[in-house]
Amino acid sequence: AKKWINIRKSYGNFYKVPRNQTKLTIMLENLGMNYDGRPHSGLDDSKNIARIAIRMLQDGCDLRVNERIHGGQLMTVSPSVPLEGAPAPQMPRYRN
């Protein structure tokens, strides 16, 4: 992966909170959610991050690529850069 969405950065920008309020457990707590699973389990962490992303989409956040690797260096992607490639994530559709 050379481009990705840093959820901590998106969360901080969208909800206007400082970086020290973007730890996984704090983000969940601020959204009224509990941590599901075992802390520091890769699978459980990613499920909880997905729950945060879904909530952000529900709250109107436009999740966009905000970091990339270029020439071996981590770079921030400006929010004004046009989207390229795949469409922006959409709210999941649930079947009844």
Ordered by where they begin, the domains of the chain are 3-76 (3.30.420.10)
Greatest alpha-carbon span in the chain: 47
Rounded Cα distance between 70 and 75, Å, is 7
pTM over 0.85: no
Return the SS3 of 27. Answer: helix
**Which spans in the chain are helix H?**
7-15, 24-30, 42-58
Rounded Cα distance between 91 and 76, Å, is 25
List, for residues 3-58, the tens digit of each pLDDT value: 999 999 999 999 999 999 999 999 999 999 999 999 889 999 999 999 999 999 99
Q: How many residues does the chain have?
A: 96
pLDDT surpasses 90 at 95:
no
